Structure 1
Amino acid sequence: MPSAAPPRLVRVDEVAAGASSAGRPAEVLRVPAFALFWSATTIRAFGSAAAGVAFQVLIVTVINATPIQISVLSALGVVPYLFLGLIVGALMDRWRRQRTLVLTSIGRALALAAIPVMLLTNTLSFWTLAIVVLILGVLTLFADSAAQPLLPLLVPRRSLVVANARLGQSATVAATAGPAAGGALLNLIGAPLLFALESVILAVSALLQSRIKVSEAGAPARVPGRHIGHDITEGFHYTYRHRTLRPLALSVHTWFLAHSIVTTLFGVFVLRELDVPEWAFGLILAFGGVGGFVGAMLAPRTGARRGAGRAILLGRGLTVAPWLALALLPVTPTTSLVVLVVVLSAVQFIYALSQGIEDANEMGYRQAAAPDAMQGRMNSTIRTANRVVFFIGALVSGAIATALGYRFAIGLAAVIFAGAALIIAFSPVRRARHEDDHSIAGLSEEGFPPAQTAPTASPEV
Structure 2
Amino acid sequence: MRDVAARPGSGDGDRPREVLRVRAFALFWSATTIRAFGGSIAGVAFQILIVTVITASPFEIGVLSALSVVPYLFLGLIVGALMDRWKRQRTLMVTSIGRAVVLGIVPILLLLDALDFWSLAAVILLLGILTLFADSAAQPLLPHIVPRSSLVMANARLGQSETVAGTAGPALGGALLNLVGAPILFAFDAAINAVSAVLQSRIEVDEAVPSPRAHGRHIGHDIVEGMRFTYRHRTLRPLALSVHIWFLGNSIVATVFAVFVLRELNLEPWAFGLALAFGGFGGFLGALLAPALGRRLGAGRAILLGRMLVIVPWAAMAVAPISASSDLALLLPLISAAQFVYGLAMGIEDANDIGYRQAVAPDAIQGRMNSTIRTMNRVIFFFGALLAGSLATFFGYPLTLGVAAIIFTAAASVVGFSSLRSARHDDLEGLES
- TM-score, normalised by the number of residues in structure 1: 0.92
Task: Find out whether 1:316 has 2:296 as its counterpart.
Answer: no
Q: Which among 396, 410, 415 is matched to residue 401 of structure 2?
A: 410
Identify if the C-alpha distance between structure 1 residues 100 and 249 changes in structure 2 by more than 3 Å, giving closer, same or farther.
same
Alignment correspondent of 1:95:
86
Deviation per residue, 1:184-236 (Å, 9 max, x gap)? 10011000000000000000000000111000123432321110000000000
User: Percent of aligned positions with the same letter in both sequences?
Assistant: 66
Structure 1: how far apart are the matches of 2:14 and 2:29?
A: 23
**1:190 matched to which residue of 2?**
181
Deviations 1:25-52 (A, max 9, x none): 0000011111100000000101111111
Note closer, same or farther for the CA distance 1:106–1:7 as it changes in structure 2 (3 Å cut): farther
**Alpha carbons of structure 1 residues 373 and 8: separation in structure 2 relative to 1, 3 Å:** farther
**What is the aligned-residue RMSD (CA, Å)?**
1.7
Contact 1:90 1:231 in 2 (8 A): yes
Q: Once the 2 structures are TM-superposed, how far is the Cα of residue 53 of structure 1 from its aligned partner?
A: 1.1
1:419 matched to 2:410: yes
Distance in 2, matches of 1:66 and 1:332, equals: 30
* Alpha-carbon distance in structure 1 between the residues aligned to 2:337 and 2:7: 44
Match of 2:125 in 1: 134
CA distance, structure 1, for counterparts of residue 5 and residue 388 of structure 2: 43
CA shift at 1:8, angstroms?
12
- In structure 1, the partner of 2:72 is 81
Q: What code does the residue aligned with 1:435 have?
A: D
User: Match for residue 6 of structure 2?
Assistant: 10
Aligned AA (1:239)? T
User: What residue is the counterpart of 1:53 in the other structure?
Assistant: 44
Contact 1:9–1:372 under 8 Å retained in 2: no
User: Aligned AA for 1:372?
Assistant: D
- Report the CA distance between 1:438 and its aligned residue: 3.8
Shift of 1:7: 8.6
Cα drift, residue 396 of structure 1: 1.1
Distance 1:313 1:8 in 2: 26
Alpha-carbon contact 2:253-2:404 (below 8 Å) kept: yes
Q: 1:392 aligns with which of 370, 375, 383?
A: 383
Q: CA–CA distance in 1 between the matches of 2:381 and 2:95?
A: 25
| Corresponding residue for residue 457 of structure 1 | none
Partner residue, 1:367: 358
Q: Is the 8 A contact 1:96 1:219 kept in 2?
A: no
Amino acid at match of 2:80: G
The one-letter code sitting in structure 2 at the alignment partner of 1:262 is V
Q: Which amino acid aligns with 2:238?
A: P
Question: How many angstroms apart in 1 are the aligned matches of 2:274 and 2:87?
Answer: 42
Give 3-state SS (helix, strand or coil) of 2:310's partner. helix
Aligned position for 1:302: 293
Q: Which residue of 2 aligns with 1:456?
A: none
Asked if the contact 1:254/1:420 (under 8 Å) is kept, the reply is yes
| Rounded Cα–Cα distance in structure 1 between residues aligned with 2:168 and 2:102 | 24
Cα distance in 2 for residues equivalent to 1:220 and 1:203: 32
Structure 1: runs of 5+ lacking an equivalent: 447-461
> For residues 162 and 185 of structure 2, what CA distance do their matches in structure 1 show?
20
Structure 2 SS opposite 1:220: coil
Is 1:277 aligned to residue 273 of structure 2?
no
Secondary structure of 2:428's aligned partner: coil
1:118 maps onto 2:109 in alignment:
yes
Q: Which amino acid aligns with 1:63?
A: I
CA distance in 2, matches of 1:301, 1:7: 25
Distance 2:188 2:206 in 1: 32
**Which amino acid is the alignment partner of residue 267 of structure 2?**
V
Change (3 A) 1:10 1:392: same
The 5 A counterparts of 1:245-256 are 245-256=236-247
**Residues 9 and 148 in structure 2, CA contact (< 8 A), matched pair in contact too:** no
Select which of 251, 255, 265 maps to 1:260: 251
Indicate which of 412, 426, 429 corresponds to 1:435. 426
- Indicate conservation of the 8 Å contact 1:8/1:216, yes or no: no
Equivalences, count: 433
CA–CA separation in structure 1 for the residues paired with 2:373 and 2:7: 26
The residue that corresponds to 2:168 in the other structure is 177
SS in structure 2 of the partner of residue 123 of structure 1 = coil
Aligned equivalents of 2:382 and 2:4: distance in 1? 34
- Measured after TM superposition, the shift of residue 11 of structure 1 is 3.9
Equivalent AA in structure 2 for residue 203 of structure 1:
A
2:246·2:411 contact (CA, 8 Å) conserved in 1?
yes
- Supply the AA of the counterpart residue of 2:340: F
Judge conservation of contact 2:7–2:143 (CA < 8 Å) in 1.
no
Whole-Å separation in 2 of the counterparts to 1:8 and 1:100: 24
Whether the aligned pair in 1 keeps the contact of 2:7 and 2:148 (CA below 8 Å) is: no
Q: CA deviation at 1:131?
A: 0.4
Distance 1:319 1:8, change over 3 A: closer
Measure how far apart 1:338 and its partner are.
Answer: 1.8
d(CA) in 1 for partners of 2:330, 2:204: 52
Unaligned segments of structure 2, at least 5 residues: none
